[in-house]
């Protein structure tokens, strides 16, 4: 069963202000093929970049491109759902101008 998670903020808009060097060729985070709703919901709650999403039809999606490299999804669900969590390739990923 998936939870009814409500939010109004559009974090993508905020992320567009950040500086990124996106690695189009390889994903530094990979999920298992059939993540359970329950575990996926946890990631919707805790990912500070709101990259774990579920649309109205209940379809789950994840986009590593806006990742803040915090590692929260790496520890949030034990070993149930994140198959791979690595640092992005050299010089890639987020680059904070303030921090």
Partner 1 sequence: MADFDAIVVGSGCAGAVAAYELAKAGKSVLVVERGNFAGAKNMTGGRIYGHCLRAVFPDNYDEIPFERKVSHERISLMSPDSNFTIDFASDALLKDGQESYTVLRSTFDQWLAEQAEDAGAEYIYGIAVEELLKDENGKVTGVSAGGDEITADVVVLCDGANSLLAEQAVGAPKPSAAQMAVGVKEVFELPAEEIEKRFQCNPGEGAAWLFAGDCTHGTFGGGIIYTNKESISIGIVAGIEATAEKATVPVYQMLEDLKNRPEVAPVLKGAKLVEHSGHMVPEGGITTMPDLIADGVLIAGDNATMCVNLGYTVRGMDYAVAAGQMAGQAAAKALDAGDTSKAGLQCYVDALENSFVLKDLRQFKNVPNFMEHFDRMFCGYPEMIRDMMNGMFVVDGTPVPPMKKTMMPIVKGVGFMNLFKDVRGAMKAL
Q: For 87, which DSSP code?
A: P
The secondary structure element, H or E, covering residue 46 is helix 37-46
| Alpha carbon distance 76, 40 (integer Å) | 10
Q: What binding mask, one character per residue, do residues 6-45 give for ligand SF4 by CB under 6 A, x or -?
A: -----------------------x----------------
Verify binding: residue 69, ligand SF4, rule CB under 6 A. yes
Q: Record the tokens describing residue 66, joined without a space.
A: 């806006």
Q: Are the beta carbons of 36 and 81 closer than 8 angstroms? A: yes
Q: Cβ of residue 94: shortest distance to partner 1, in angstroms?
A: 7
Residue with tokens 């298992």, as numbered in its chain: 32
Residues that bind ligand SF4 (CB under 6 A): 29, 47-49, 51, 67-73
Q: Which residues bind partner 1 (CB under 8 A)?
A: 5-9, 11, 14-15, 17-18, 42-50, 68-72, 74-78, 85-87, 90-91, 93-99
């Amino acid at each position: 069963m998936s939870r009814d998670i409500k939010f109004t903020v559009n974090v993508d808009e905020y992320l567009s202000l950040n500086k990124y060097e996106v690695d189009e060729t390889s994903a530094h985070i990979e999920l298992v093929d059939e993540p359970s709703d329950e575990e996926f919901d946890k990631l919707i709650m805790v990912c500070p970049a709101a990259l774990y999403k579920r649309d109205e039809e209940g379809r789950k999606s994840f986009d590593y491109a806006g990742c803040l490299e915090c590692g929260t999804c790496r520890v949030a669900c034990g070993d149930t759902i994140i198959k791979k969590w690595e640092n992005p390739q050299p010089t890639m990923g987020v680059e904070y101008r303030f921090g």
